[in-house]
Amino acid sequence: MKILVLNAGSSSQKSCLYEIADEALPTQAPQPLWEGKVNWTQDKGVAEVEVKTATGAKLQESIPGDSPQAHLTYMLNTLTRDVTKVINQLSEIDLVGHRVVHGGQDYRESVVITEDVKKAIANLSNLAPEHNPSALAGIEAIENILEKVTQVAVFDTAFHSTLPDAVAIYPGPYEWVDQGIRRYGFHGISHQYCSGRAAQILGKDLASLRLITCHLGNGCSLAAVKNGRSIDTSMGFTPLEGLMMGSRSGSIDPGILIHLLRYCDYSIKKLDYILNKTSGLRGISDISSDMREVTKAIAQGNTRAKLAWDMYVHRLRSGIGAMLTSLGGLDALVFTAGVGENSPGIRQAACEALGFLGLKIDLEKNQQQPVDEDIATDDSAVRVLVIHTKEDWAIAQQSWQLLK
Ligand code: ADP
């Protein structure tokens, strides 16, 4: 069976094609036959299309035009032509899985996309304005290209639909609950994938494990996973709550917002921009939202970069502490995504605060670019895992399972 995955970002559409036997899912992620990406971050009116295949063929082109649908169609057509050809016709695709960031209260698991599901995704756009509309654009582009194919929506919020009410409801007026103002949590596809993979690496049953998964990318979130279910997480109504991130503030006193609106002539637009785009590592360091740049600046003696690092670590440790008390114990701490997978310094700093649990990180293993590995010492009371998150594979798996 050939499954196409589309992963819509705010300014890009990533895609890949998997081939999976009809009978059973492989236990580990296979390499995709083909991977494509359309980037709209450069000049308006031009899209950068990048494609690579499992056999090493590569293509990179700038495609003019203002229609994202046309750009997407162009990228998908590379599946059947020239050096990047991996199938004869697009009609060979059996199933298409989409990452949809917000599923609201109604979508607690993956669903086959119908007109009603599309309407719901559109209606939830005001809760995820940067993401849900692009997912919808991807769904409609596929409808135009492959009329009859089954499409599945896999929601980033779904994994957290098991949050208990005491965790999910904000201590505002109770009417907020009826208005849908509650904690949804995000990065669920990654937290779920990493939980399953952690159990595999440890050779344990997921149903017996207490895990904290740290998804530290541009956006950062934690999840407390007990017996395979998310029971607490750091992001909330929007992906702005919780940890300090690349360019997002994470949690701040809501009184600051009232103060800025009342006394500092802030508009809603400006507030939105500042909290999402110019805060976090970028805002404090004044260097970059990229942890690599911040780390370089620290090595050059930049004190603002050092402050940004210290704040990031402090908030990460506090967040882990909160997840720990929700779980009431810990079997493994899992690091994933750009920073989690690639920054030994952040992993070490987070782990140092957990020594009182008997958690001991092996400093040598931590430095050796671990991938899907346990980096705790043999005598550590808690395992520490570094897992390469595979959201696209998780989407393909869930789509396959739904169809079966
Ligand atoms: P996204 O959240 O957009 O999916 P990623 O998970 O790819 O992003 O994470 C991107 C971030 O990962 C970068 O902004 C950078 O801060 C961080 N990163 C990538 N490589 C490294 C590295 N070698 N050391 C430290 N941080 C890294």
Tens-place pLDDT, residues 290-328: 999 999 999 999 999 999 999 999 999 999 999 999 999
Q: Is the pTM of this model over 0.85?
A: yes
Q: Which of 287, 290, 294, 336 to mutate to test the pocket of ligand 1 (most atoms within 8 A of CB)?
A: 290
Question: Ligand 1, closest atom to CA 291?
Answer: 16
Q: According to the model, what pLDDT value does residue 404 have?
A: 81
Give the CA count within 13 Å in the CB-facing half-sphere of 265.
Answer: 0
Q: Is 341 annotated as a binding residue?
A: yes
Question: Ligand 1, closest atom to CA 293?
Answer: 16
Q: Which of 216, 298, 343 to mutate to test the pocket of ligand 1 (most atoms within 8 A of CB)?
A: 343
**Residue 68 burial class via C-beta count within 10 angstroms: exposed 0-12, middle 13-18, buried 19 and up:** middle
Query: Cα(40) to centroid of ligand 1, in Å?
Result: 19
**What is the edge-to-edge ordering of all strands in the sheet holding 383-386?**
229-233, 220-226, 210-216, 332-336, 383-386, 373-374
| Residue of the CA atom closest to atom 12 of ligand 1 | 338
Instruction: Please write the tens of the pLDDT for every residue from 160-215.
Output: 999 999 999 999 999 999 999 999 999 999 999 999 999 999 999 999 999 999 99
Q: According to the model, what pLDDT value does residue 24 have?
A: 87
Q: Is 345 annotated as a binding residue?
A: no
Question: Ligand 1, closest atom to CA 215?
Answer: 6
Beta bridge partners of residue 13, listed in sequence order: 8, 38
Instruction: Please write the tens of the pLDDT for every residue from 210-249.
Output: 999 999 999 999 999 999 999 999 999 999 999 999 999 9
- Using CA atoms, how far residue 307 sits from 18, 276, 290, 294, 386, in Å, is 43, 19, 15, 10, 26
Contact (CB, 8 A) for 163 and 185: yes
Q: Catalytic annotation on 272? A: no
Active-site residue, from 22, 156, 232, 362: 156
Mean pLDDT value across the chain? 95
Q: Is 217 annotated as a binding residue?
A: yes
Query: Cα(386) to centroid of ligand 1, in Å?
Result: 14
Q: How confident is the model at residue 23 (pLDDT cuts 50, 70, 90)?
A: confident
Q: Is 98 annotated as a binding residue?
A: no
Q: According to the model, what pLDDT value does residue 27 have?
A: 87
Q: According to the model, what pLDDT value does residue 42 have?
A: 65
Instruction: Report residues whose beta carbon is within 6 angstroms of any ligand 1 atom.
Output: 217-219, 246, 290-292, 337-339, 342-343
